[in-house]
Chains A and B, each alone.
Chain A
Protein backbone atom coordinates (compact mmCIF):
# COMPACT_ATOMS: atom_id res chain seq x y z
CA UNK A 1 0.00 0.00 0.00
CA UNK A 2 2.90 2.29 0.86
CA UNK A 3 3.86 2.52 -2.78
CA UNK A 4 0.62 4.40 -3.49
CA UNK A 5 1.30 7.08 -0.91
CA UNK A 6 5.08 7.19 -0.85
CA UNK A 7 5.69 10.50 0.98
CA UNK A 8 9.02 11.10 -0.74
CA UNK A 9 7.52 10.68 -4.20
CA UNK A 10 4.52 12.79 -3.22
CA UNK A 11 6.77 15.59 -1.98
CA UNK A 12 8.81 15.45 -5.17
CA UNK A 13 5.68 15.44 -7.33
CA UNK A 14 3.89 18.30 -5.63
CA UNK A 15 5.68 21.31 -7.19
CA UNK A 16 5.04 20.02 -10.71
CA UNK A 17 1.41 19.23 -9.98
CA UNK A 18 0.93 22.55 -8.28
CA UNK A 19 2.11 24.37 -11.37
CA UNK A 20 -0.17 22.05 -13.36
CA UNK A 21 -3.16 23.31 -11.35
CA UNK A 22 -2.48 26.79 -12.65
CA UNK A 23 -2.39 25.54 -16.23
CA UNK A 24 -5.56 23.46 -15.75
CA UNK A 25 -7.43 26.42 -14.29
CA UNK A 26 -6.13 28.80 -16.96
CA UNK A 27 -7.15 26.49 -19.78
CA UNK A 28 -10.52 25.75 -18.17
CA UNK A 29 -11.46 29.37 -17.55
CA UNK A 30 -10.37 30.67 -20.95
CA UNK A 31 -12.10 27.90 -22.91
CA UNK A 32 -15.26 28.16 -20.82
CA UNK A 33 -15.39 31.93 -21.36
CA UNK A 34 -14.74 31.56 -25.08
CA UNK A 35 -17.21 28.68 -25.51
CA UNK A 36 -20.05 30.42 -23.68
CA UNK A 37 -19.41 33.66 -25.58
CA UNK A 38 -19.35 31.80 -28.89
CA UNK A 39 -22.57 29.93 -28.07
CA UNK A 40 -24.33 33.12 -27.00
CA UNK A 41 -23.18 34.96 -30.11
CA UNK A 42 -24.35 32.21 -32.46
CA UNK A 43 -27.70 31.79 -30.71
CA UNK A 44 -28.21 35.57 -30.85
CA UNK A 45 -27.44 35.68 -34.56
CA UNK A 46 -29.81 32.75 -35.09
CA UNK A 47 -32.56 34.53 -33.15
CA UNK A 48 -32.20 37.87 -34.89
CA UNK A 49 -31.70 36.91 -38.53
CA UNK A 50 -34.82 37.26 -40.58
CA UNK A 51 -35.69 37.25 -44.21
CA UNK A 52 -34.78 35.02 -47.11
CA UNK A 53 -31.20 36.05 -47.91
CA UNK A 54 -29.97 35.23 -44.40
CA UNK A 55 -32.05 32.08 -43.80
CA UNK A 56 -29.18 29.68 -44.57
CA UNK A 57 -27.13 31.23 -41.76
CA UNK A 58 -29.48 29.71 -39.20
CA UNK A 59 -29.11 26.32 -40.85
CA UNK A 60 -25.32 26.64 -40.83
CA UNK A 61 -25.33 27.42 -37.13
CA UNK A 62 -27.55 24.42 -36.41
CA UNK A 63 -25.23 22.24 -38.52
CA UNK A 64 -22.21 23.50 -36.57
CA UNK A 65 -23.93 22.50 -33.34
CA UNK A 66 -24.69 19.03 -34.72
CA UNK A 67 -21.17 18.39 -36.05
CA UNK A 68 -19.46 19.36 -32.84
CA UNK A 69 -21.91 17.35 -30.86
CA UNK A 70 -21.02 14.30 -32.92
CA UNK A 71 -17.25 14.91 -32.75
CA UNK A 72 -15.31 13.48 -29.79
CA UNK A 73 -13.32 16.37 -28.27
CA UNK A 74 -10.11 14.34 -28.27
CA UNK A 75 -10.42 13.65 -32.01
CA UNK A 76 -10.88 17.35 -32.65
CA UNK A 77 -7.90 18.19 -30.47
CA UNK A 78 -5.67 15.66 -32.22
CA UNK A 79 -6.72 16.94 -35.64
CA UNK A 80 -6.04 20.54 -34.61
CA UNK A 81 -2.67 19.73 -33.12
CA UNK A 82 -1.32 17.11 -35.51
CA UNK A 83 -3.06 17.91 -38.82
CA UNK A 84 -3.34 21.70 -38.82
CA UNK A 85 0.45 22.21 -39.12
CA UNK A 86 0.22 20.63 -42.60
CA UNK A 87 -1.91 23.65 -43.54
CA UNK A 88 0.73 25.93 -42.11
CA UNK A 89 -1.23 26.49 -38.89
CA UNK A 90 1.10 25.77 -36.00
CA UNK A 91 -0.89 25.79 -32.78
CA UNK A 92 0.75 25.34 -29.42
CA UNK A 93 -0.72 22.52 -27.35
CA UNK A 94 -2.45 25.06 -25.16
CA UNK A 95 -3.93 26.91 -28.13
CA UNK A 96 -5.08 23.68 -29.79
CA UNK A 97 -6.78 22.58 -26.56
CA UNK A 98 -8.30 26.03 -26.07
CA UNK A 99 -9.72 26.03 -29.61
CA UNK A 100 -11.00 22.43 -29.40
CA UNK A 101 -12.65 22.85 -26.00
CA UNK A 102 -14.03 26.26 -26.96
CA UNK A 103 -15.56 24.94 -30.19
CA UNK A 104 -17.13 21.93 -28.45
CA UNK A 105 -18.55 24.01 -25.60
CA UNK A 106 -19.62 26.67 -28.10
CA UNK A 107 -21.76 24.08 -29.89
CA UNK A 108 -23.44 22.91 -26.67
CA UNK A 109 -23.87 26.45 -25.43
CA UNK A 110 -25.44 27.53 -28.72
CA UNK A 111 -27.92 24.70 -28.42
CA UNK A 112 -28.66 25.50 -24.78
CA UNK A 113 -29.18 29.21 -25.44
CA UNK A 114 -31.26 28.47 -28.53
CA UNK A 115 -33.48 26.09 -26.56
CA UNK A 116 -33.89 28.77 -23.91
CA UNK A 117 -34.69 31.45 -26.49
CA UNK A 118 -37.26 29.36 -28.33
CA UNK A 119 -38.96 28.39 -25.08
CA UNK A 120 -39.78 32.03 -24.34
CA UNK A 121 -43.40 32.61 -25.26
CA UNK A 122 -44.02 34.34 -28.61
CA UNK A 123 -46.26 36.76 -26.77
CA UNK A 124 -43.17 38.22 -25.09
CA UNK A 125 -41.67 39.16 -28.46
CA UNK A 126 -45.01 40.55 -29.59
CA UNK A 127 -45.58 42.61 -26.47
CA UNK A 128 -42.11 44.10 -26.77
CA UNK A 129 -42.44 44.84 -30.50
CA UNK A 130 -45.91 46.32 -29.98
CA UNK A 131 -44.38 48.99 -27.73
CA UNK A 132 -41.96 50.00 -30.48
CA UNK A 133 -38.84 48.22 -29.21
CA UNK A 134 -36.50 47.15 -32.02
CA UNK A 135 -35.92 43.42 -32.46
CA UNK A 136 -32.48 43.83 -30.93
CA UNK A 137 -33.81 45.62 -27.86
CA UNK A 138 -36.70 43.17 -27.51
CA UNK A 139 -34.20 40.32 -27.61
CA UNK A 140 -31.78 41.89 -25.19
CA UNK A 141 -34.21 43.30 -22.60
CA UNK A 142 -37.13 40.89 -22.76
CA UNK A 143 -36.33 37.53 -24.37
CA UNK A 144 -32.72 36.90 -23.38
CA UNK A 145 -33.12 37.59 -19.65
CA UNK A 146 -35.91 35.02 -19.53
CA UNK A 147 -33.98 32.53 -21.65
CA UNK A 148 -30.87 32.82 -19.50
CA UNK A 149 -32.71 31.59 -16.43
CA UNK A 150 -33.45 28.34 -18.18
CA UNK A 151 -29.90 27.96 -19.42
CA UNK A 152 -28.08 28.29 -16.12
CA UNK A 153 -28.22 24.66 -14.91
CA UNK A 154 -27.39 22.97 -18.22
CA UNK A 155 -24.76 25.55 -19.03
CA UNK A 156 -23.15 25.04 -15.64
CA UNK A 157 -23.00 21.33 -16.30
CA UNK A 158 -21.43 21.81 -19.72
CA UNK A 159 -18.91 24.24 -18.26
CA UNK A 160 -17.94 21.65 -15.63
CA UNK A 161 -17.54 19.04 -18.37
CA UNK A 162 -15.27 21.45 -20.24
CA UNK A 163 -13.22 21.95 -17.10
CA UNK A 164 -12.78 18.20 -16.74
CA UNK A 165 -11.93 17.86 -20.43
CA UNK A 166 -8.86 20.04 -19.92
CA UNK A 167 -7.23 16.72 -18.93
CA UNK A 168 -7.29 15.87 -22.66
CA UNK A 169 -4.67 18.58 -23.17
CA UNK A 170 -2.15 16.24 -21.52
CA UNK A 171 -2.17 14.37 -24.85
CA UNK A 172 -0.71 17.38 -26.66
CA UNK A 173 1.95 18.00 -24.02
CA UNK A 174 0.23 20.84 -22.18
CA UNK A 175 1.76 20.72 -18.69
CA UNK A 176 -1.55 20.62 -16.84
CA UNK A 177 -2.24 18.41 -13.81
CA UNK A 178 -2.57 15.03 -15.53
CA UNK A 179 0.38 15.65 -17.84
CA UNK A 180 2.60 16.64 -14.92
CA UNK A 181 1.54 13.60 -12.92
CA UNK A 182 2.15 11.26 -15.84
CA UNK A 183 5.64 12.56 -16.52
CA UNK A 184 6.62 12.39 -12.85
CA UNK A 185 5.16 8.89 -12.71
CA UNK A 186 7.31 7.88 -15.65
CA UNK A 187 10.42 9.13 -13.82
CA UNK A 188 9.61 7.57 -10.45
CA UNK A 189 7.85 4.37 -11.53
CA UNK A 190 5.35 4.97 -8.74
CA UNK A 191 1.57 5.43 -8.87
CA UNK A 192 1.71 8.07 -6.14
CA UNK A 193 1.82 11.11 -8.49
CA UNK A 194 -1.27 9.87 -10.32
CA UNK A 195 -3.13 9.48 -7.05
CA UNK A 196 -2.09 12.96 -6.02
CA UNK A 197 -3.40 14.30 -9.33
CA UNK A 198 -6.64 12.38 -8.81
CA UNK A 199 -6.99 14.00 -5.41
CA UNK A 200 -6.46 17.42 -6.99
CA UNK A 201 -9.22 16.78 -9.54
CA UNK A 202 -11.62 15.66 -6.82
CA UNK A 203 -10.85 18.77 -4.79
CA UNK A 204 -11.41 20.97 -7.85
CA UNK A 205 -14.50 19.32 -9.30
CA UNK A 206 -16.44 17.59 -6.52
CA UNK A 207 -17.79 20.92 -5.21
CA UNK A 208 -18.69 21.98 -8.75
CA UNK A 209 -20.46 18.70 -9.49
CA UNK A 210 -22.47 19.12 -6.28
CA UNK A 211 -23.39 22.69 -7.27
CA UNK A 212 -24.45 21.47 -10.72
CA UNK A 213 -26.70 18.85 -9.14
CA UNK A 214 -28.18 21.42 -6.78
CA UNK A 215 -28.92 23.80 -9.67
CA UNK A 216 -30.67 21.03 -11.62
CA UNK A 217 -33.03 20.22 -8.77
CA UNK A 218 -33.53 23.86 -7.89
CA UNK A 219 -34.48 24.98 -11.37
CA UNK A 220 -36.42 21.78 -12.06
CA UNK A 221 -35.09 21.48 -15.57
CA UNK A 222 -36.49 18.50 -17.41
Chain B
Protein backbone atom coordinates (compact mmCIF):
# COMPACT_ATOMS: atom_id res chain seq x y z
CA UNK B 1 0.00 0.00 0.00
CA UNK B 2 2.47 2.65 -1.09
CA UNK B 3 -0.04 4.60 -3.17
CA UNK B 4 0.05 8.29 -2.39
CA UNK B 5 -3.31 8.98 -3.97
CA UNK B 6 -6.12 6.71 -4.93
CA UNK B 7 -9.49 7.43 -6.51
CA UNK B 8 -12.10 4.78 -5.84
CA UNK B 9 -15.18 4.99 -7.99
CA UNK B 10 -15.17 8.80 -8.13
CA UNK B 11 -18.06 10.41 -10.03
CA UNK B 12 -19.19 13.96 -10.66
CA UNK B 13 -22.27 15.31 -12.39
CA UNK B 14 -22.77 18.93 -13.44
CA UNK B 15 -26.43 19.89 -13.81
CA UNK B 16 -27.42 16.38 -14.77
CA UNK B 17 -24.53 15.90 -17.18
CA UNK B 18 -21.94 13.41 -15.94
CA UNK B 19 -18.40 14.81 -16.11
CA UNK B 20 -16.72 11.88 -14.35
CA UNK B 21 -17.98 8.30 -14.08
CA UNK B 22 -16.66 5.66 -11.72
CA UNK B 23 -13.01 6.68 -11.86
CA UNK B 24 -10.51 4.23 -10.37
CA UNK B 25 -6.94 5.46 -10.47
CA UNK B 26 -3.93 5.24 -8.16
CA UNK B 27 -0.67 7.17 -8.10
CA UNK B 28 2.21 5.48 -6.30
CA UNK B 29 5.12 7.17 -4.55
CA UNK B 30 7.49 8.78 -7.11
CA UNK B 31 5.13 7.81 -9.87
CA UNK B 32 4.19 10.13 -12.74
CA UNK B 33 0.75 9.45 -14.19
CA UNK B 34 -0.34 11.40 -17.26
CA UNK B 35 -3.99 12.06 -18.05
CA UNK B 36 -4.71 12.48 -21.73
CA UNK B 37 -7.96 12.94 -23.53
CA UNK B 38 -9.93 15.41 -25.63
CA UNK B 39 -10.92 18.70 -24.05
CA UNK B 40 -14.10 18.35 -22.06
CA UNK B 41 -13.29 14.74 -21.24
CA UNK B 42 -13.01 15.50 -17.51
CA UNK B 43 -9.27 15.87 -16.89
CA UNK B 44 -9.59 19.09 -14.89
CA UNK B 45 -12.59 17.79 -12.97
CA UNK B 46 -10.66 14.66 -12.02
CA UNK B 47 -7.70 16.67 -10.72
CA UNK B 48 -9.95 19.09 -8.84
CA UNK B 49 -11.84 16.23 -7.19
CA UNK B 50 -8.52 15.07 -5.69
CA UNK B 51 -8.22 18.13 -3.43
CA UNK B 52 -11.97 18.77 -3.40
CA UNK B 53 -11.85 22.12 -5.17
CA UNK B 54 -14.65 20.35 -6.97
CA UNK B 55 -16.79 18.24 -4.65
CA UNK B 56 -17.11 14.69 -6.05
CA UNK B 57 -20.60 13.30 -5.66
CA UNK B 58 -19.68 9.63 -5.68
CA UNK B 59 -16.75 7.49 -4.58
CA UNK B 60 -13.76 8.16 -2.35
CA UNK B 61 -10.48 9.98 -2.73
CA UNK B 62 -7.85 8.42 -0.52
CA UNK B 63 -4.64 10.28 0.25
CA UNK B 64 -1.82 8.49 2.09
CA UNK B 65 -4.24 5.81 3.20
CA UNK B 66 -6.89 8.20 4.59
CA UNK B 67 -10.00 9.55 2.90
CA UNK B 68 -9.67 13.25 2.05
CA UNK B 69 -11.69 15.10 4.73
CA UNK B 70 -14.74 17.08 3.63
CA UNK B 71 -13.69 20.45 4.97
CA UNK B 72 -12.19 22.52 7.70
CA UNK B 73 -8.61 22.46 8.95
CA UNK B 74 -8.27 18.74 8.14
CA UNK B 75 -8.96 19.37 4.45
CA UNK B 76 -6.62 22.38 4.48
CA UNK B 77 -3.86 20.20 5.89
CA UNK B 78 -4.35 17.60 3.13
CA UNK B 79 -4.36 20.33 0.49
CA UNK B 80 -1.01 21.58 1.76
CA UNK B 81 0.51 18.18 1.08
CA UNK B 82 -1.12 18.00 -2.38
CA UNK B 83 0.31 20.75 -4.57
CA UNK B 84 -1.76 22.02 -7.48
CA UNK B 85 -0.58 23.79 -10.62
CA UNK B 86 -3.17 25.51 -12.80
CA UNK B 87 -3.36 25.94 -16.54
CA UNK B 88 -3.60 29.73 -16.16
CA UNK B 89 -0.90 29.88 -13.40
CA UNK B 90 -3.20 31.81 -11.02
CA UNK B 91 -0.25 33.60 -9.46
CA UNK B 92 -1.15 36.31 -6.96
CA UNK B 93 -0.58 39.46 -9.03
CA UNK B 94 -0.01 41.71 -6.01
CA UNK B 95 2.82 39.59 -4.58
CA UNK B 96 6.31 39.03 -5.96
CA UNK B 97 7.68 35.57 -6.78
CA UNK B 98 9.08 34.97 -3.29
CA UNK B 99 5.91 36.19 -1.57
CA UNK B 100 3.79 34.02 -3.85
CA UNK B 101 5.72 30.95 -2.78
CA UNK B 102 6.10 31.95 0.90
CA UNK B 103 2.44 32.78 1.60
CA UNK B 104 1.17 29.27 2.29
CA UNK B 105 4.23 28.09 4.25
CA UNK B 106 3.74 31.13 6.48
CA UNK B 107 -0.08 31.33 6.70
CA UNK B 108 -1.17 27.73 6.15
CA UNK B 109 1.73 25.66 7.51
CA UNK B 110 2.51 28.13 10.27
CA UNK B 111 6.24 28.45 9.64
CA UNK B 112 7.99 31.59 10.82
CA UNK B 113 8.48 34.32 8.23
CA UNK B 114 12.16 33.41 7.95
CA UNK B 115 11.51 29.68 7.53
CA UNK B 116 8.77 30.36 5.02
CA UNK B 117 11.05 32.56 2.93
CA UNK B 118 13.79 29.98 3.05
CA UNK B 119 11.40 27.28 1.83
CA UNK B 120 10.14 29.63 -0.90
CA UNK B 121 13.66 30.55 -2.00
CA UNK B 122 14.69 26.90 -2.20
CA UNK B 123 11.60 26.09 -4.25
CA UNK B 124 12.30 28.97 -6.63
CA UNK B 125 15.91 27.80 -7.02
CA UNK B 126 14.67 24.33 -7.81
CA UNK B 127 12.62 25.66 -10.75
CA UNK B 128 15.57 27.76 -11.93
CA UNK B 129 14.28 31.13 -10.75
CA UNK B 130 16.56 31.75 -7.77
CA UNK B 131 17.55 35.06 -9.36
CA UNK B 132 14.00 36.37 -9.90
CA UNK B 133 12.68 36.19 -6.34
CA UNK B 134 11.64 39.84 -6.23
CA UNK B 135 10.02 39.93 -9.68
CA UNK B 136 6.29 40.65 -9.86
CA UNK B 137 4.24 38.15 -11.92
CA UNK B 138 3.59 40.65 -14.71
CA UNK B 139 7.35 41.13 -15.11
CA UNK B 140 7.84 37.43 -15.88
CA UNK B 141 7.30 35.44 -19.07
CA UNK B 142 4.53 32.86 -19.15
CA UNK B 143 7.04 30.05 -18.70
CA UNK B 144 8.61 31.79 -15.72
CA UNK B 145 5.19 32.45 -14.20
CA UNK B 146 4.27 28.79 -14.46
CA UNK B 147 7.56 27.85 -12.83
CA UNK B 148 6.79 30.25 -9.96
CA UNK B 149 3.42 28.52 -9.65
CA UNK B 150 5.19 25.17 -9.44
CA UNK B 151 7.54 26.61 -6.81
CA UNK B 152 4.51 27.87 -4.87
CA UNK B 153 3.27 24.28 -4.68
CA UNK B 154 6.75 22.84 -3.98
CA UNK B 155 7.49 25.23 -1.12
CA UNK B 156 5.05 23.19 0.99
CA UNK B 157 7.03 19.99 0.26
CA UNK B 158 3.95 18.21 -1.07
CA UNK B 159 3.67 14.43 -1.35
CA UNK B 160 2.11 14.77 -4.80
CA UNK B 161 1.68 17.46 -7.45
CA UNK B 162 -1.55 17.81 -9.43
CA UNK B 163 -0.80 19.64 -12.68
CA UNK B 164 -3.62 20.75 -14.96
CA UNK B 165 -2.30 21.29 -18.49
CA UNK B 166 0.64 23.30 -17.15
CA UNK B 167 1.95 24.17 -20.61
CA UNK B 168 -1.28 24.74 -22.55
CA UNK B 169 -1.32 28.50 -21.96
CA UNK B 170 2.32 28.94 -23.01
CA UNK B 171 3.88 30.09 -26.25
CA UNK B 172 5.54 27.08 -27.91
CA UNK B 173 9.08 28.29 -27.25
CA UNK B 174 8.38 28.50 -23.50
CA UNK B 175 6.92 25.01 -23.12
CA UNK B 176 10.33 23.33 -22.91
CA UNK B 177 11.46 25.19 -19.78
CA UNK B 178 8.40 24.07 -17.82
CA UNK B 179 8.62 20.45 -19.01
CA UNK B 180 12.29 20.39 -18.04
CA UNK B 181 11.35 21.39 -14.50
CA UNK B 182 8.69 18.67 -14.34
CA UNK B 183 11.18 16.08 -15.55
CA UNK B 184 13.71 17.09 -12.92
CA UNK B 185 11.03 16.82 -10.23
CA UNK B 186 10.35 13.29 -11.40
CA UNK B 187 14.01 12.48 -11.07
CA UNK B 188 13.82 13.75 -7.49
CA UNK B 189 11.00 11.30 -6.85
CA UNK B 190 8.01 13.69 -6.62
CA UNK B 191 4.74 11.89 -7.35
CA UNK B 192 2.70 13.64 -10.02
CA UNK B 193 -0.68 13.44 -11.70
CA UNK B 194 -0.58 15.60 -14.80
CA UNK B 195 -3.20 16.42 -17.40
CA UNK B 196 -1.43 17.19 -20.64
CA UNK B 197 -1.68 17.41 -24.42
CA UNK B 198 2.10 16.92 -24.80
CA UNK B 199 2.00 13.31 -25.96
CA UNK B 200 5.74 13.12 -26.66
CA UNK B 201 6.43 14.29 -23.12
CA UNK B 202 3.95 11.79 -21.69
CA UNK B 203 5.51 8.96 -23.64
CA UNK B 204 8.98 9.70 -22.38
CA UNK B 205 8.31 10.87 -18.81
CA UNK B 206 5.17 9.10 -17.62
CA UNK B 207 5.18 5.78 -15.82
CA UNK B 208 1.57 5.30 -16.79
CA UNK B 209 -0.90 7.07 -19.05
CA UNK B 210 -4.64 7.18 -18.48
CA UNK B 211 -6.88 8.01 -21.43
CA UNK B 212 -10.06 9.81 -20.47
CA UNK B 213 -13.10 10.22 -22.72
CA UNK B 214 -16.55 11.46 -21.72
CA UNK B 215 -15.61 11.23 -18.05
CA UNK B 216 -14.44 7.63 -18.16
CA UNK B 217 -10.98 6.12 -18.10
CA UNK B 218 -11.03 3.97 -21.24
CA UNK B 219 -7.40 2.84 -21.11
CA UNK B 220 -4.64 2.95 -18.55
CA UNK B 221 -1.15 1.51 -18.68
CA UNK B 222 2.50 2.09 -19.54
CA UNK B 223 3.08 4.57 -22.41
CA UNK B 224 4.24 1.94 -24.88
CA UNK B 225 1.06 -0.03 -24.33
CA UNK B 226 -1.41 2.84 -24.38
CA UNK B 227 0.17 4.92 -27.12
CA UNK B 228 1.42 2.20 -29.46
CA UNK B 229 -1.25 -0.45 -29.03
CA UNK B 230 -4.50 1.43 -28.36
CA UNK B 231 -7.33 -1.00 -27.81
CA UNK B 232 -10.30 1.32 -28.15
CA UNK B 233 -11.46 3.15 -31.24
CA UNK B 234 -11.78 6.39 -29.25
CA UNK B 235 -8.10 6.33 -28.35
CA UNK B 236 -7.06 5.38 -31.86
CA UNK B 237 -8.92 8.28 -33.37
CA UNK B 238 -7.71 10.64 -30.60
CA UNK B 239 -4.09 9.68 -31.30
CA UNK B 240 -4.50 9.83 -35.08
CA UNK B 241 -5.78 13.41 -34.85
CA UNK B 242 -2.70 14.70 -33.00
Contacts and interface: CB of A to CB of B under 8 A. Distances in A.
Interface of A: 121, 123-124, 126-134, 137, 141-142, 145-146, 149
Nearest to A127: B90
Interface residues of B, number: 28
A145 B94 contact: yes
Interface string B219-237: 0000000000000000000
Given A131-B104, A133-B104, A146 B94 contact: yes
A149 B95 CA distance: 13
Contact of A142 (B79, B103, B153): B103
A141 B81 CA distance: 20
A131 B86 contact: no
A134 B75 CA distance: 9
B77 A121 contact: no
Contacts of A146: 92-94
Contacts of A137: 107-108
B51 interface: yes
Interface in B49-82: 51, 53, 73, 76-82
A142 B92 CA distance: 7
B140 interface: no
Given A126-B53, A146-B94, A149-B94, A133 B76 contact: yes
Contacts of B77: 132
Nearest to B52: A129
B156 A132 contact: yes
Interface string B86-121: 101011111000000001100111000000000000
A134 B76 contact: yes
A131 B90 contact: no
A125 to B, nearest CB: 9
Given A128-B103, A130-B53, A131-B80, 11 more contacts: A123-B86, A127-B84, A129-B76, A129-B79, A130-B82, A131-B103, A132-B76, A132-B77, A132-B81, A137-B108, A146-B92
B79 A130 contact: yes
A127 B51 CA distance: 11
A130 B73 contact: no
B90 A133 contact: no
A180 B92 CA distance: 51
B109 A132 contact: yes
Q: Pick from B73, B78, B90 the residue with the most CB of A within 10 Å.
A: B90
B19 to A, nearest CB: 17
A124 B80 contact: no
Given A126-B53, A130-B53, A131-B79, A141 B107 contact: yes
15 contacts: A126-B90, A127-B91, A127-B149, A129-B53, A130-B79, A131-B83, A131-B84, A131-B104, A131-B156, A132-B78, A132-B79, A132-B81, A132-B104, A134-B73, A141-B103
